[in-house]
Amino acid sequence: MTKFVGGGVTVECNNVVFTGHLDKNNKNEGAFNETAATITTADFKGTGTIEDCTSNGLGAVKFTTNVGNGVPFCLYSRSSFAADEVQMRGGSCTEANRSVTFVLDVTSLGLTCRYNRSTPFPGPLKGTYRTDTSPENSDAIVDLKTGANTEFEAEAGNPFGCPGAGSLEMSITLETDLTGTNTPIWFS
């Protein structure tokens, strides 16, 4: 589930699929541990008409990350971060940091609302991760909660009716694609 909360409006997408690949998995390799995965696609769907996301004030909304400084994103954790902290920034994990942008297309009103999270300030999105270490299920779950660590600014030129600044809230389950020769990601 993903939510954008801003200006009294909440946009909800109940089915979000990220795909990507593992760039680093340095667990237990000395004092500096790092895990990094590049997210190459992000597909947001909801329960609205033609799988649009829903909102409490705008109607049906398409949530798009394939514009401007959209995907790729880098999702990473380092031993130098706070306990269980994970960050997400714009650009692949092998590229320089850049901002993150997304668009809310309000289909019922014909509005295109653009949002940006700058770099270096306020910097990458920050959240936490938790792992399920049971033998039958070794997923990692990344949680981004509404607040300053996930806030986006409305871009200049947004039309009247677009929500102002807002925050993202996401819960992402990281799973290995078992259809190929992929290496699992381990967060600990």
Chain segment 66-115, per-residue pLDDT in tens: 888 889 999 999 888 998 899 999 999 999 999 999 999 998 889 999 99
For residue 14, give both structure tokens: 């109940």
CA dihedral 3, 5, 8, 9 (to 10 degrees): -40
For residue 188, name the pLDDT band (cuts at 50, 70, 90): very low
CA angle 163, 16, 129 (to 5 degrees): 95
**CA gyration radius for the chain?**
17
How far apart, in whole angstroms, are the C-alpha atoms of residue 23 and residue 88?
A: 14
- Residues 150/169, Cβ–Cβ less than 8 Å: yes
Question: What DSSP string runs through 64-105?
Answer: E-SSTT-S-EEEEEETTSSTTEEEEEES-TTS--B-EEEEEE
DSSP 66-77: SSTT-S-EEEEE
The residue-averaged pLDDT of 172-182 equals 69
pLDDT in tens, 141-154: 889 887 889 999 99
The distance in angstroms from the start CA to the end CA of the chain is 23
- Token pair, residue 153, equals 């600014």
